[in-house]
Each structure stands twice: as structure tokens, then as C-alpha cells.
Amino acid sequence: MTKHVIIGGGPVATNAIETIRQYGDGEASITLISDEPAHSRMALPYWLAGKVPREHTHTADDDYFGRLGVDAKIGQRASGIDTAARTVTLADGSTVEYDNLLIATGAAPAGLPVPGADLPGVQPLWTLEHTASLLAAAEGNESPRVTMIGAGFIGFIMLNAMHKRGWNLTVVEREDHVLPRMLDANAAGLVESWLAAKGVTVHAGAGVESIADGEGGKIVSLSGGATVDADVVIVATGIRPNTDLASEAGIETDQGIIVNSRCQTSAEGVYAGGDVAQGPVLGGGANEIHSIQPTAVDHGRIAGANMAGHDAEYPGSLSLNILDVCGLQNASFGNWGDTSEDAVTISNAADHIYRKFIFTGDQMTGAVFVGEANDLGMLTDVGMVKGIMQTETDLGAWKGFLKENPFDVRRAYIATGVAATLAKTTLLGQKAQPRGFHFGGQAPQSAVDGSHAQLVSPKAAAMEKAAEVARAMAAEAEAAGNDGAAEAESAE
Ligand SMILES: Cc1cc2nc3c(=O)[nH]c(=O)nc-3n(C[C@H](O)[C@H](O)[C@H](O)COP(=O)(O)OP(=O)(O)OC[C@H]3O[C@@H](n4cnc5c(N)ncnc54)[C@H](O)[C@@H]3O)c2cc1C
């Protein structure tokens, strides 16, 4: 009987478990070691915004583990790996044997090396407990003053949740502009003016020198001499992959654990995926870490299939950032920071619209979007551009068309057959199965059907209505035509 062991309880782990059961012989044992409950960090902003209870962030429970035959050691930490003996040691001293091991330990907040960073009321915002502690700190205060140090992708996801609560927000960023690893300076400038209009104060190009306790809360001192008063300080200065277990076991690491296209590490029978893994990138080039949910899901499924004895190869992950900043939608894909001249840029600062497409040869290899979150046309363009890049479509003459008409993505998308290519593409050669887990066993509140289109888009509903009217008119016309033909027949 094959013994599978997985360390970590995030999306890599749950997707690997489900894939092993989907592809495996059913006899294999699966042991999960996770210090936190199995959950999705992506769901934390919904809890922070007060939209769902804490338990809604969970992605598995005892019933789920029982059904999938998983020995779930929740609340326990792995403290060592012996690749020669093929064992994992837990913090309580016990050991678990493995034939296949998946390291899915994710990443941890990088921290801030300044005086006062360890004071109560100064905290990161990455885990279930961090979210609980922020909500507790804000309890009883309608509009707490929150200063967020670091203006990156995840920080802004959480800032958006705090904005929904109506909190009093300030952002401090050491680099010259917000979202430095997601947007170029022009696009970020639009985000900054949008934030100002929404009442969020931004200090860009300002390092934090110290944090101290003052009369009315914390005092954050900035490099230019300014100070900011806050009730809570959030340190969102980036993350560091949890590679220690792997590097101490002699497994090859760089920034993350190095994996190949099967998510295999340098050690026999040891796999890694998600935020801790530095893996192949779509389109080739050096391995990178893509700390995003889609990569974690793909890695989990690829590792799970290979652990179950299938030969599954990953084409590589695509850098994807799609972010709502207080109602302003931003997206960047692929080599968005490439300064190549083979590009088209449209900027309209007054309306907060920015669009940049970057090309290499016949393909689109980078893109940046900014626009209002209620602009449905832009949202569908974001999806189509993502598809064009994911399918590595050769655009041919449509490249020139897109450079001339960057707001008419749909025509190029349809003409180059991207939708058909996407429809045929599956990661493992067959459709993923439904997860079979819902919080509290509740049925989903909506299904992806005709009514889903109406839920997500009033415009889609209007289009469906128009199509209905058109169908009815066509049917009427056909009936009239047939009657006409019948009349003509009887006249003969
Ligand atoms: C607030 C927030 C919002 C996000 N929103 C988005 C989003 O909108 N879109 C997007 O694409 N991505 C988003 N992300 C990123 C996404 O959640 C991560 O890329 C994803 O969770 C990575 O999955 P993972 O399985 O690699 O790691 P994780 O989900 O981090 O899971 C790893 C688990 O392993 C546990 N662990 C670590 N070491 C050990 C050990 N030694 N023993 C036992 N257990 C251990 C950790 O405690 C953790 O529970 C968000 C992240 C955060 C924090």
C-alpha cells in the first residue's frame, strides 16, 4: 500500500488529496499534517469585511477527511524530513513514514526590522489568527485608524475589505508608487489618485523608521520626517516561502523549493507546490514563485496525479494579478513590466482608464489594465486577454489590429479561436471533479447556469432577454413563412 504524506492544509494540499483519490487505486493511505485548519486564505477578506463567518473560510472538515480516507493531523507541525529513511518528524516527536511526500507549507509574512515592530497592536495580516486579532482590536470602534505598511497585492485585498467596513485607512509604501510588483508607475498613479478620492491616505516613497506607543495609539515615523497616528498597524511588507523543512533536509532550494514540471523536488519521492515552490513558467525561462491561488491549485493537482502514479506535466504557471482597489479594478499578466517598444499603451487619467499590451513576436506576453470595477466591458476584456496569453496564441495579423484597437479585444479573441482552444484545455486530460465540500454541508446558493449570468451581469440578462425576443420573432416569421407556403400549396 502506497503511503502519501502531505505537509500543509492550503489549496495545494486539498487539491492534491482530491486528485490522488480521483486518479489513485483507492488503497493508498493519505496523511495530512497541518498546523492550521484546512482553509483558503483567499476567503479571509470576506470574513474581514463581515460578509461571511470565520468557518466559511474552511475547505475541509472531519466528514470530508473521513470520506476521502485521510488521516488528518490538524493542529500539528512537521519539524523535520529524513529523505533517506523517508520519514517526517512531527513537533511532538512522533514520525510518519512516506513513499511520496508533498511539501505544501506556503509562505509566511516577511516582517519589518524597525524599532517597535513587535509592539502589541502591530501585526501582519496573513492567517486566520491574524484576521481574528485585527477584528478583536477593532471591536467597539466604528472607524479604527489603520495604517498599512507595504502596498502590495495581498495588502490591498485586505485593505479593500477594511474599506468596505468604513475604517480610516493610511498606506505607507517604501517604493515610489503603490503596487510596485503589479503595476507600472503610470497605472499606479491612477490607483493613488483614486485612493485619495476615496479618503485613503497614501505615503509613497516613504520608509518606516520606527513605531512607538503614543497617547492616542501608535505613532509611525516615516523617513521624510512625517508621522502617522494609528490604532492598529498592519505590516504587509511581503512574504517569505516556508522552505526551512526542505533546505534542512538537503532538498534543493533557491528563493523557494525548486520543482520540475511534475512538481518533483531534487529528492526522490518528494514533491512541492504552491507558495513554497519555485516552478516552471508558461512560455519558458527561469523557474519562478507565483504566490497565487491558480498556481497553488494547478500544482496540487499536478503533484497529486504524479503521486498517484500518473505522468502529468505542467505547462508552467502564468503570473496573474487581478485586484479591486476600493472599486477600481486592476489587472496585470505575464511580463507586464517589460519595457519593450513592441507595445500599445492607452492612458486616460481623468477617467482612471489605463491599458497596456506588450507583444513578443506574434504573441501577447504582458498586459496591464486599470478601470472602474463596474465597467463590464473592461472586465470581459481582462478575461479574454488572460485567455489569449494562457493559450500562447499566435495572433498573426490580429496583433496589428490590437495595437490599433486596444479596446476591441473581442474581435481578435474570436477570430484567433482562443475560446475553442481554452474549452479543449484541461490540466490533467479530464475535467476536475466537483470538490464535494460545502461549509456545514450546505448546498451552494447559486449554480452556473442561465440565472448565474443574470446574477453576475445585468447586461448579460438584458442580452439574454434580447436574444429571447429575437428567437420569438424568428419563430413567428418562420411560422408565417410556413403558412404562406401552405397557402401557396393549397392554391395549386
Ligand atoms: C488574505 C489573502 C488573500 C488572498 N487572496 C488571493 C486572491 O484573491 N487571489 C489569488 O490568486 N491569491 C490570493 N492569495 C494567495 C493565495 O491564498 C495563496 O497563493 C495560496 O493560499 C497558497 O496556497 P498553499 O497551499 O501553497 O499555501 P497556504 O494556503 O499558505 O497553506 C499552507 C499551510 O501549511 C501550513 N504549514 C506551514 N508549515 C507547516 C509545518 N511545518 N507543519 C504543518 N503545517 C505547516 C501553514 O500554516 C498553512 O496553513 C491570498 C492570500 C492571502 C493571505
CB 293 less than 6 A from any atom of ligand 1: yes
What is the full DSSP assignment across 69-124?
A: TEEEEET--EEEEETTTTEEEETTS-EEE-SEEEE---EEE----STTTTSTTEE-
How much distance in Å is there from the Cα of 42 to the middle of ligand 1?
8
Q: Which residue has the higher pLDDT, 431 or 149?
A: 149
- Alpha-carbon gap, residue 182 to 83, rounded angstroms: 38
pLDDT, tens digit, 9 for 90 and up, residues 135-149: 999 999 999 999 999
CB-based contacts of 412, cutoff 8 Å, min separation 6? 388, 395, 398, 401, 402
> What's the 358 CA to ligand 1 centre distance in angstroms?
30
pLDDT cut 70: percent of the chain above it: 90
**pTM of the prediction?**
0.89
How much is the pLDDT for 488?
37
**Ligand 1 centre from 41 Cα, in Å?**
6
Residue 450 has pLDDT above 50, yes or no: no
- Spatial contact of 363 and 393, defined as CB atoms under 8 Å apart: yes
- Flag whether pLDDT at 460 surpasses 60: no
User: pLDDT tens, 108-129?
Assistant: 999 999 999 999 999 999 999 9
Work out which ligand 1 atom sits closest to the CA atom of 36. Answer: 49
| Closest-lying ligand 1 atom to the alpha carbon of residue 12 | 25
* 131 ligand 1 Cβ < 6 A: no
pLDDT tens for each residue of 254-301: 999 999 999 999 999 999 999 999 999 998 999 999 999 999 999 999
How far apart CA 340 and CA 233 sit, in angstroms, is: 39
Q: Is the pLDDT of residue 131 over 70?
A: yes
Beta carbon of 33 within 6 Å of any ligand 1 atom: yes
Instruction: Render 381-441 in DSSP notation, one character per residue.
Output: HHHHHHHHHHTT---THHHHHHHH-TT-HHHHHHHTTHHHHHHH--SSSSPPPP----GGG
Q: What's the gap in Å between 461 CA and the centre of ligand 1?
A: 36
Residues with Cβ < 8 Å from 285, sequence gap 6 or more? Answer: none
Asked if residues 318 and 33 have their Cβ atoms less than 8 Å apart, the reply is no
For residue range 204-260, list pLDDT tens digits in order: 999 999 999 998 899 999 998 999 999 999 999 999 999 999 999 999 999 999 999
Nearest-atom number in ligand 1 for the CA of 276 is: 26
Lowest mean pLDDT among 23-32, 41-50, 194-203, 479-488: 479-488
- Residue 425: what pLDDT? 80
Q: Which tens digits make up the pLDDT trace of 383-430?
A: 999 999 999 999 999 999 999 999 999 999 999 999 889 888 888 887
